Amino acid sequence: MKISHRFSLLLLALMGAATQAQADEVSVAVAANFTAPMQQIAADFEKASGHKIVASYGSTGKFYAQIKNGAPFELLLAADDETPARLIKENAAVAGSQFTYAIGKLVLWSAKSAVVDDKGEVLKKGGFDHISLANPKLAPYGAAGVEVMKALGVYDALQPKIVSAENITQAYQFVSSGNALLGFVALSQVLKDGKIDGSAWIVPAHLYAPIRQDVVMLEKGRGKPAAEALAKYLKGDKAKAVIKSFGYGL
């Protein structure tokens, strides 16, 4: 019995050591709008896999420039589908690894109640000094906001009032701090337990091009177990449930 018990302990120790040896770190560039869901997904993934996620959050356009300049990212969770496709075309990402992990939803939001109506008429009526928008050249949500204003015929009138943010996180901060009365942000940023604080208009999808948010394996992640495991995890039911809970389409 004693020999059997010692053997069992030795086996468990060896298994633990093997698990430790297999555990790896994955460096991920994540679109700013996906910060909150990614933090939850990362915690779940690390618990399930033993791998560790090192995530950086920012604008997709800036990440593109950093990746082209040799940044050590292994996976990119973009806020569009064009950047991953471009990186594959330019041999900076792995062909066949791109897939859509979320469909983004745009919202016009104010931290104050009764500012934004449920049809977005506030954009035509005015009565505000500043409207926050992520830089449309770097951030797909910013580009979508411009599309909406142009579709409604208010872009030229509102252009002098636009406060340009570096990314969608900063666009949200401008509104939440009161530096802008309202702004275009991601639904995922303002949706908490199925409710939105303040006032908001969830912009109808027909007013802007679909925000398909794609994952791509970067060349530095090719063949790396942790990067491959995370890409696979993002396709699974547990990750999808988290993504959906933050208001994204799948």
Distance, CA of 81 to CA of 103 (rounded, Å): 10
* pLDDT greater than 90 at residue 157: yes
Tokens of 141: 């949500």
pLDDT at 13: 53
* pLDDT greater than 70 at residue 11: no
**Selected residue with higher pLDDT from 1 and 115:** 115
Amino acid at 49: S
Sequential DSSP letters for 101-135: EEEE-EEEEESSTTSS-TT-THHHH---S-EEEE-
pLDDT at 9: 54
pLDDT at 47: 97
Q: What is the pLDDT of residues 172-212, one digit of tens each?
A: 999 999 999 999 999 999 998 889 999 999 999 999 999 99
Nearest to 196 by CA among 121, 112, 137: 112
Percent above pLDDT 90 for the chain: 89
pLDDT at 192: 87
In this prediction the pTM is 0.83
pLDDT at 20: 42
**69-86: average pLDDT:** 97
* Domains by residue range for the chain, with CATH: 2-103+211-245 (3.40.190.10), 106-202 (3.40.190.10)
Q: Mapping DSSP to helix (H, G, I), strand (E, B) and coil, where does residue 200 land?
A: strand
pLDDT at 14: 54
Q: What is the pLDDT of residues 46-70, one digit of tens each?
A: 999 999 999 999 999 999 999 999 9
By DSSP bridging, strand 131-134 and strand 182-186 are parallel
Angle 85-104-128 from CA coordinates, rounded to 5° = 120
Distance, CA of 217 to CA of 128 (rounded, Å): 43
pLDDT at 1: 42
Nearest to 184 by CA among 234, 239, 135: 135
pLDDT, averaged across the chain: 92
